[in-house]
Structure 1
Protein backbone atom coordinates (compact mmCIF):
# COMPACT_ATOMS: atom_id res chain seq x y z
CA UNK A 1 0.00 0.00 0.00
CA UNK A 2 2.79 2.43 0.93
CA UNK A 3 4.60 1.71 -2.34
CA UNK A 4 1.38 2.40 -4.24
CA UNK A 5 0.94 5.77 -2.51
CA UNK A 6 4.57 6.75 -3.16
CA UNK A 7 4.14 5.82 -6.83
CA UNK A 8 1.00 7.98 -6.98
CA UNK A 9 2.83 10.99 -5.56
CA UNK A 10 5.77 10.60 -7.93
CA UNK A 11 3.48 10.06 -10.90
CA UNK A 12 1.56 13.25 -10.19
CA UNK A 13 4.78 15.23 -9.87
CA UNK A 14 6.24 13.86 -13.10
CA UNK A 15 3.13 13.84 -15.29
CA UNK A 16 2.20 16.50 -17.82
CA UNK A 17 -0.21 19.13 -16.56
CA UNK A 18 -3.87 18.81 -17.52
CA UNK A 19 -5.69 22.11 -17.01
CA UNK A 20 -9.24 22.29 -15.77
CA UNK A 21 -11.48 23.34 -18.59
CA UNK A 22 -12.77 26.57 -17.09
CA UNK A 23 -12.16 29.54 -19.35
CA UNK A 24 -11.85 32.11 -16.55
CA UNK A 25 -8.97 30.21 -15.03
CA UNK A 26 -6.31 31.60 -17.33
CA UNK A 27 -7.78 35.01 -18.15
CA UNK A 28 -7.01 36.27 -14.65
CA UNK A 29 -3.29 35.73 -15.25
CA UNK A 30 -2.93 36.45 -18.97
CA UNK A 31 -0.26 39.10 -18.37
CA UNK A 32 2.00 36.81 -16.30
CA UNK A 33 4.49 34.16 -17.30
CA UNK A 34 4.36 30.84 -15.37
CA UNK A 35 7.11 31.84 -12.92
CA UNK A 36 5.45 35.17 -12.18
CA UNK A 37 2.15 33.35 -11.75
CA UNK A 38 3.68 31.03 -9.13
CA UNK A 39 5.23 33.97 -7.27
CA UNK A 40 1.92 35.84 -7.24
CA UNK A 41 -0.08 32.83 -6.08
CA UNK A 42 2.47 31.95 -3.41
CA UNK A 43 1.99 35.43 -2.03
CA UNK A 44 -1.32 34.22 -0.62
CA UNK A 45 0.37 31.52 1.47
CA UNK A 46 1.74 31.71 4.99
CA UNK A 47 5.23 30.68 3.84
CA UNK A 48 5.66 32.30 0.42
CA UNK A 49 9.44 31.78 0.11
CA UNK A 50 9.05 28.04 0.76
CA UNK A 51 6.10 27.94 -1.62
CA UNK A 52 8.13 29.48 -4.44
CA UNK A 53 11.09 27.23 -3.69
CA UNK A 54 8.96 24.08 -3.84
CA UNK A 55 6.94 24.97 -6.92
CA UNK A 56 9.27 26.96 -9.17
CA UNK A 57 10.83 23.81 -10.63
CA UNK A 58 7.39 22.80 -11.92
CA UNK A 59 6.59 26.05 -13.76
CA UNK A 60 6.43 24.39 -17.18
CA UNK A 61 3.84 21.94 -15.88
CA UNK A 62 1.92 24.44 -13.80
CA UNK A 63 1.81 27.10 -16.54
CA UNK A 64 -0.83 29.53 -15.26
CA UNK A 65 -3.38 27.04 -14.01
CA UNK A 66 -4.57 27.29 -10.38
CA UNK A 67 -5.71 23.66 -10.65
CA UNK A 68 -2.26 22.48 -11.74
CA UNK A 69 -0.69 24.58 -8.99
CA UNK A 70 -2.93 23.11 -6.30
CA UNK A 71 -2.44 19.56 -7.58
CA UNK A 72 1.35 19.77 -7.60
CA UNK A 73 1.41 21.52 -4.21
CA UNK A 74 -0.69 18.67 -2.81
CA UNK A 75 1.61 16.09 -4.38
CA UNK A 76 4.64 17.74 -2.78
CA UNK A 77 2.83 17.78 0.57
CA UNK A 78 2.08 14.07 0.24
CA UNK A 79 5.69 13.26 -0.65
CA UNK A 80 6.90 15.14 2.45
CA UNK A 81 4.35 13.37 4.65
CA UNK A 82 5.49 10.01 3.28
CA UNK A 83 9.10 10.90 4.01
CA UNK A 84 8.17 11.97 7.53
CA UNK A 85 6.23 8.76 8.09
CA UNK A 86 9.19 6.68 6.96
CA UNK A 87 11.62 8.65 9.12
CA UNK A 88 9.54 8.41 12.31
CA UNK A 89 8.79 4.73 11.69
CA UNK A 90 12.52 4.01 11.56
CA UNK A 91 13.14 6.00 14.75
CA UNK A 92 10.68 3.89 16.69
CA UNK A 93 12.67 0.73 15.95
CA UNK A 94 15.73 2.13 17.72
CA UNK A 95 16.86 0.66 21.02
CA UNK A 96 17.21 2.44 24.35
CA UNK A 97 14.25 4.78 23.86
CA UNK A 98 12.54 5.89 27.06
CA UNK A 99 8.96 4.58 27.38
CA UNK A 100 7.46 8.10 27.33
CA UNK A 101 9.41 8.96 24.18
CA UNK A 102 8.44 5.63 22.58
CA UNK A 103 4.73 6.29 23.21
CA UNK A 104 4.99 9.82 21.81
CA UNK A 105 6.82 8.54 18.73
CA UNK A 106 4.30 5.74 18.23
CA UNK A 107 1.43 8.23 18.41
CA UNK A 108 3.27 10.40 15.90
CA UNK A 109 3.53 7.47 13.48
CA UNK A 110 -0.23 6.99 13.71
CA UNK A 111 -0.96 10.69 13.21
CA UNK A 112 1.29 11.02 10.19
CA UNK A 113 -0.23 7.86 8.74
CA UNK A 114 -3.64 9.51 9.02
CA UNK A 115 -2.26 12.63 7.33
CA UNK A 116 -0.95 10.51 4.44
CA UNK A 117 -4.41 8.98 4.00
CA UNK A 118 -6.08 12.40 4.05
CA UNK A 119 -3.68 13.88 1.50
CA UNK A 120 -4.04 10.84 -0.75
CA UNK A 121 -7.82 11.25 -0.69
CA UNK A 122 -7.44 14.95 -1.43
CA UNK A 123 -5.28 14.32 -4.48
CA UNK A 124 -7.73 11.77 -5.84
CA UNK A 125 -10.64 14.16 -5.28
CA UNK A 126 -8.87 17.05 -6.99
CA UNK A 127 -7.84 14.78 -9.85
CA UNK A 128 -11.52 14.08 -10.47
CA UNK A 129 -12.10 17.80 -10.94
CA UNK A 130 -10.28 17.89 -14.27
CA UNK A 131 -13.58 17.53 -16.08
CA UNK A 132 -16.00 20.45 -16.44
CA UNK A 133 -18.69 20.52 -13.77
CA UNK A 134 -21.46 22.76 -12.54
CA UNK A 135 -21.04 25.10 -9.59
CA UNK A 136 -22.76 22.81 -7.10
CA UNK A 137 -20.56 19.84 -7.97
CA UNK A 138 -17.45 22.01 -7.92
CA UNK A 139 -18.24 23.33 -4.44
CA UNK A 140 -18.89 19.80 -3.17
CA UNK A 141 -15.61 18.41 -4.44
CA UNK A 142 -13.44 21.37 -3.46
CA UNK A 143 -15.02 21.35 0.01
CA UNK A 144 -13.95 17.71 0.40
CA UNK A 145 -10.40 18.61 -0.59
CA UNK A 146 -10.29 21.53 1.84
CA UNK A 147 -11.64 19.39 4.68
CA UNK A 148 -9.15 16.56 4.13
CA UNK A 149 -6.13 18.83 3.77
CA UNK A 150 -7.14 20.71 6.91
CA UNK A 151 -7.44 17.37 8.72
CA UNK A 152 -4.00 16.33 7.44
CA UNK A 153 -2.52 19.57 8.76
CA UNK A 154 -4.12 18.92 12.14
CA UNK A 155 -2.78 15.35 12.20
CA UNK A 156 0.72 16.56 11.42
CA UNK A 157 0.59 19.16 14.19
CA UNK A 158 -0.86 16.63 16.65
CA UNK A 159 2.18 14.45 16.04
CA UNK A 160 4.14 16.72 18.37
CA UNK A 161 1.57 16.63 21.18
CA UNK A 162 3.17 13.72 22.98
CA UNK A 163 6.51 15.51 23.16
CA UNK A 164 5.21 18.47 25.15
CA UNK A 165 5.61 16.88 28.58
CA UNK A 166 8.72 16.50 30.76
CA UNK A 167 11.16 13.76 29.96
CA UNK A 168 10.73 13.92 26.20
CA UNK A 169 13.60 16.26 25.32
CA UNK A 170 16.45 14.85 23.26
CA UNK A 171 17.42 13.86 19.74
CA UNK A 172 14.14 12.12 18.87
CA UNK A 173 12.02 15.14 19.79
CA UNK A 174 14.36 17.54 18.02
CA UNK A 175 14.58 15.45 14.85
CA UNK A 176 10.84 14.90 14.61
CA UNK A 177 9.94 18.50 15.44
CA UNK A 178 12.21 19.87 12.71
CA UNK A 179 10.76 17.59 10.06
CA UNK A 180 7.17 18.04 11.21
CA UNK A 181 7.63 21.82 11.04
CA UNK A 182 8.72 21.60 7.41
CA UNK A 183 5.90 19.20 6.56
CA UNK A 184 3.22 21.40 8.16
CA UNK A 185 4.52 24.47 6.34
CA UNK A 186 4.30 22.69 2.98
CA UNK A 187 0.80 21.43 3.78
CA UNK A 188 -0.30 24.87 4.99
CA UNK A 189 0.85 26.33 1.68
CA UNK A 190 -0.99 23.66 -0.27
CA UNK A 191 -4.19 24.42 1.63
CA UNK A 192 -3.82 28.14 0.91
CA UNK A 193 -3.41 27.44 -2.81
CA UNK A 194 -6.46 25.18 -2.77
CA UNK A 195 -8.44 27.95 -1.10
CA UNK A 196 -7.13 30.34 -3.74
CA UNK A 197 -8.19 27.91 -6.48
CA UNK A 198 -11.65 27.64 -4.93
CA UNK A 199 -11.99 31.41 -4.68
CA UNK A 200 -11.20 31.95 -8.36
CA UNK A 201 -14.22 29.81 -9.25
CA UNK A 202 -16.62 31.23 -6.70
Structure 2
Protein backbone atom coordinates (compact mmCIF):
# COMPACT_ATOMS: atom_id res chain seq x y z
CA UNK A 1 0.00 0.00 0.00
CA UNK A 2 1.34 3.44 -0.95
CA UNK A 3 2.11 5.86 1.81
CA UNK A 4 0.07 9.03 2.22
CA UNK A 5 3.03 11.16 1.14
CA UNK A 6 3.38 9.11 -2.07
CA UNK A 7 -0.31 9.51 -2.87
CA UNK A 8 -0.08 13.24 -2.25
CA UNK A 9 2.96 13.50 -4.52
CA UNK A 10 1.21 11.63 -7.35
CA UNK A 11 -1.91 13.77 -7.04
CA UNK A 12 0.22 16.91 -7.15
CA UNK A 13 2.06 15.59 -10.21
CA UNK A 14 -1.23 14.88 -11.98
CA UNK A 15 -2.47 18.36 -11.16
CA UNK A 16 0.67 19.97 -12.58
CA UNK A 17 0.45 17.90 -15.76
CA UNK A 18 -3.24 18.73 -16.17
CA UNK A 19 -2.62 22.43 -15.60
CA UNK A 20 0.17 22.37 -18.17
CA UNK A 21 -2.13 20.70 -20.70
CA UNK A 22 -4.88 23.24 -20.13
CA UNK A 23 -2.37 26.08 -20.48
CA UNK A 24 -1.04 24.62 -23.75
CA UNK A 25 -4.55 24.36 -25.18
CA UNK A 26 -5.32 27.93 -24.14
CA UNK A 27 -2.14 29.24 -25.71
CA UNK A 28 -2.85 27.24 -28.86
CA UNK A 29 -6.27 28.86 -29.22
CA UNK A 30 -4.80 32.27 -28.57
CA UNK A 31 -2.07 31.75 -31.15
CA UNK A 32 -4.64 30.66 -33.71
CA UNK A 33 -6.77 33.72 -33.00
CA UNK A 34 -3.75 36.01 -33.20
CA UNK A 35 -2.84 34.49 -36.55
CA UNK A 36 -6.34 35.16 -37.83
CA UNK A 37 -6.21 38.76 -36.62
CA UNK A 38 -2.80 39.30 -38.22
CA UNK A 39 -3.97 37.92 -41.57
CA UNK A 40 -7.11 40.05 -41.46
CA UNK A 41 -5.23 43.19 -40.42
CA UNK A 42 -2.89 42.79 -43.38
CA UNK A 43 -5.81 43.91 -45.59
CA UNK A 44 -6.14 47.26 -43.78
CA UNK A 45 -4.26 50.50 -44.43
CA UNK A 46 -2.68 50.43 -40.98
CA UNK A 47 -1.96 46.75 -40.23
CA UNK A 48 0.43 47.33 -37.33
CA UNK A 49 -2.06 49.60 -35.55
CA UNK A 50 -4.80 47.10 -36.32
CA UNK A 51 -2.86 44.22 -34.79
CA UNK A 52 -1.87 46.19 -31.70
CA UNK A 53 -5.42 47.32 -30.97
CA UNK A 54 -7.18 44.02 -31.64
CA UNK A 55 -4.77 41.42 -30.23
CA UNK A 56 -6.23 41.92 -26.75
CA UNK A 57 -9.56 40.67 -28.11
CA UNK A 58 -8.06 37.47 -29.54
CA UNK A 59 -9.91 35.06 -27.26
CA UNK A 60 -13.20 36.83 -27.96
CA UNK A 61 -12.72 37.05 -31.73
CA UNK A 62 -11.74 33.38 -32.22
CA UNK A 63 -11.60 33.55 -36.01
CA UNK A 64 -15.08 35.04 -36.33
CA UNK A 65 -15.22 37.87 -38.93
CA UNK A 66 -18.24 39.51 -37.28
CA UNK A 67 -16.56 39.53 -33.87
CA UNK A 68 -13.42 40.93 -35.47
CA UNK A 69 -15.33 43.75 -37.16
CA UNK A 70 -17.22 44.52 -33.96
CA UNK A 71 -14.00 44.66 -31.94
CA UNK A 72 -12.46 47.07 -34.46
CA UNK A 73 -15.59 49.20 -34.39
CA UNK A 74 -15.58 49.22 -30.59
CA UNK A 75 -11.98 50.46 -30.56
CA UNK A 76 -12.88 53.18 -33.04
CA UNK A 77 -15.84 54.31 -30.92
CA UNK A 78 -13.69 54.53 -27.80
CA UNK A 79 -11.06 56.56 -29.64
CA UNK A 80 -13.69 58.86 -31.15
CA UNK A 81 -15.36 59.47 -27.78
CA UNK A 82 -12.02 60.31 -26.21
CA UNK A 83 -11.15 62.66 -29.07
CA UNK A 84 -14.54 64.35 -28.84
CA UNK A 85 -13.96 65.10 -25.16
CA UNK A 86 -10.50 66.39 -26.00
CA UNK A 87 -11.76 68.75 -28.72
CA UNK A 88 -14.49 69.95 -26.36
CA UNK A 89 -11.79 70.94 -23.88
CA UNK A 90 -9.87 72.72 -26.63
CA UNK A 91 -12.84 75.00 -27.32
CA UNK A 92 -12.14 76.57 -23.92
CA UNK A 93 -8.51 77.37 -24.67
CA UNK A 94 -7.86 81.08 -24.18
CA UNK A 95 -6.78 83.12 -27.16
CA UNK A 96 -8.79 81.27 -29.82
CA UNK A 97 -10.34 83.60 -32.34
CA UNK A 98 -11.45 83.92 -35.92
CA UNK A 99 -10.95 80.93 -38.20
CA UNK A 100 -9.14 78.92 -35.56
CA UNK A 101 -11.99 79.22 -33.07
CA UNK A 102 -14.53 78.29 -35.74
CA UNK A 103 -12.42 75.33 -36.90
CA UNK A 104 -12.32 73.92 -33.36
CA UNK A 105 -16.10 74.32 -32.96
CA UNK A 106 -16.74 72.72 -36.36
CA UNK A 107 -14.42 69.87 -35.44
CA UNK A 108 -16.35 69.28 -32.23
CA UNK A 109 -19.58 69.00 -34.24
CA UNK A 110 -17.85 66.58 -36.62
CA UNK A 111 -16.66 64.40 -33.75
CA UNK A 112 -20.08 64.32 -32.12
CA UNK A 113 -21.48 63.14 -35.45
CA UNK A 114 -18.69 60.57 -35.67
CA UNK A 115 -19.50 59.10 -32.26
CA UNK A 116 -23.20 58.98 -33.10
CA UNK A 117 -22.67 57.26 -36.44
CA UNK A 118 -20.19 54.73 -35.10
CA UNK A 119 -22.50 53.92 -32.18
CA UNK A 120 -25.42 53.38 -34.54
CA UNK A 121 -23.19 51.19 -36.68
CA UNK A 122 -22.35 48.98 -33.70
CA UNK A 123 -26.03 48.41 -32.98
CA UNK A 124 -26.67 47.64 -36.63
CA UNK A 125 -23.77 45.16 -36.66
CA UNK A 126 -25.68 43.11 -34.12
CA UNK A 127 -28.56 42.88 -36.57
CA UNK A 128 -26.35 41.41 -39.28
CA UNK A 129 -25.68 38.39 -37.08
CA UNK A 130 -29.41 37.79 -36.67
CA UNK A 131 -30.31 38.20 -40.34
CA UNK A 132 -32.50 35.43 -41.73
CA UNK A 133 -31.73 36.05 -45.40
CA UNK A 134 -29.02 37.49 -47.62
CA UNK A 135 -31.18 40.48 -48.49
CA UNK A 136 -31.77 41.21 -44.81
CA UNK A 137 -28.05 40.93 -44.10
CA UNK A 138 -27.21 43.21 -47.03
CA UNK A 139 -29.66 45.83 -45.78
CA UNK A 140 -28.15 46.02 -42.30
CA UNK A 141 -24.60 45.79 -43.62
CA UNK A 142 -25.23 48.62 -46.08
CA UNK A 143 -26.32 50.82 -43.17
CA UNK A 144 -23.17 49.94 -41.23
CA UNK A 145 -20.89 50.68 -44.17
CA UNK A 146 -22.65 53.96 -44.92
CA UNK A 147 -22.45 55.23 -41.33
CA UNK A 148 -18.82 54.20 -40.79
CA UNK A 149 -17.85 55.80 -44.11
CA UNK A 150 -19.68 58.97 -43.05
CA UNK A 151 -17.87 58.92 -39.70
CA UNK A 152 -14.54 58.69 -41.52
CA UNK A 153 -15.57 61.65 -43.70
CA UNK A 154 -16.44 63.65 -40.56
CA UNK A 155 -13.00 62.96 -39.12
CA UNK A 156 -11.24 64.01 -42.32
CA UNK A 157 -13.43 67.11 -42.51
CA UNK A 158 -12.29 68.10 -39.03
CA UNK A 159 -8.64 67.77 -40.02
CA UNK A 160 -9.19 69.67 -43.29
CA UNK A 161 -10.76 72.51 -41.34
CA UNK A 162 -7.31 73.48 -40.05
CA UNK A 163 -5.75 73.71 -43.52
CA UNK A 164 -3.53 76.68 -44.21
CA UNK A 165 -0.51 78.19 -42.48
CA UNK A 166 -2.58 80.93 -40.88
CA UNK A 167 -3.75 78.47 -38.23
CA UNK A 168 -0.41 76.81 -37.55
CA UNK A 169 0.17 76.41 -33.84
CA UNK A 170 -0.23 74.12 -30.84
CA UNK A 171 -4.02 73.84 -31.10
CA UNK A 172 -3.96 72.80 -34.75
CA UNK A 173 -1.09 70.36 -34.19
CA UNK A 174 -2.72 68.74 -31.15
CA UNK A 175 -6.19 68.35 -32.64
CA UNK A 176 -5.04 67.14 -36.05
CA UNK A 177 -2.79 64.52 -34.45
CA UNK A 178 -5.62 63.25 -32.24
CA UNK A 179 -8.25 63.15 -34.99
CA UNK A 180 -5.89 61.62 -37.55
CA UNK A 181 -5.30 58.82 -35.06
CA UNK A 182 -9.04 58.23 -34.77
CA UNK A 183 -9.35 58.23 -38.56
CA UNK A 184 -6.76 55.47 -38.79
CA UNK A 185 -8.75 53.28 -36.41
CA UNK A 186 -11.99 54.03 -38.26
CA UNK A 187 -10.35 53.22 -41.59
CA UNK A 188 -9.22 49.87 -40.23
CA UNK A 189 -12.69 49.16 -38.84
CA UNK A 190 -14.28 49.91 -42.20
CA UNK A 191 -11.83 47.60 -43.98
CA UNK A 192 -12.65 44.73 -41.61
CA UNK A 193 -16.38 45.44 -41.90
CA UNK A 194 -16.09 45.25 -45.69
CA UNK A 195 -14.14 42.01 -45.31
CA UNK A 196 -16.89 40.56 -43.12
CA UNK A 197 -19.50 41.60 -45.70
CA UNK A 198 -17.63 40.00 -48.60
CA UNK A 199 -17.06 36.76 -46.71
CA UNK A 200 -20.73 36.51 -45.78
CA UNK A 201 -21.84 37.14 -49.34
CA UNK A 202 -19.36 34.56 -50.61
Q: Does the 8 Å contact 2:159/2:180 carry over to 1? A: no
The within-5 A match list for 1:148-187 is 148-187=147-186
The within-5 A match list for 1:5-154 is 33-154=32-153
1:199 aligned onto 2:198: yes
Tell me by how many angstroms 1:130 deviates: 2.6
The DSSP-based 3-state class of the residue aligned with 1:97 is coil
**Number of residue equivalences:** 172
The DSSP-based 3-state class of the residue aligned with 1:160 is helix
Residues 120-141 of structure 1, C-alpha deviations (whole Å, 9 max, x = no match): 1100100122324210001111
Q: TM-score, normalised by structure 1?
A: 0.82
Residues 94-124 of structure 1, C-alpha deviations (whole Å, 9 max, x = no match): 1111322110000000011111111011001
**For 2:131 and 2:64, how far apart are their aligned partners in 1?**
14
**For 2:40 and 2:165, how far apart are their aligned partners in 1?**
41
More helix by share: 2
The DSSP-based 3-state class of the residue aligned with 1:94 is coil
Task: Answer 1 or 2: higher relative contact order, Cα 8 Å, separation at least 6.
Answer: 1
The DSSP-based 3-state class of the residue aligned with 1:201 is helix
Name structure 1 gaps, 5 residues minimum.
1-31
**For 1:44 and 1:141, how far apart are their aligned partners in 2?**
23
Name structure 2 gaps, 5 residues minimum.
1-30
Residues 28-47 of structure 1, C-alpha deviations (whole Å, 9 max, x = no match): xxxx8101000000011010
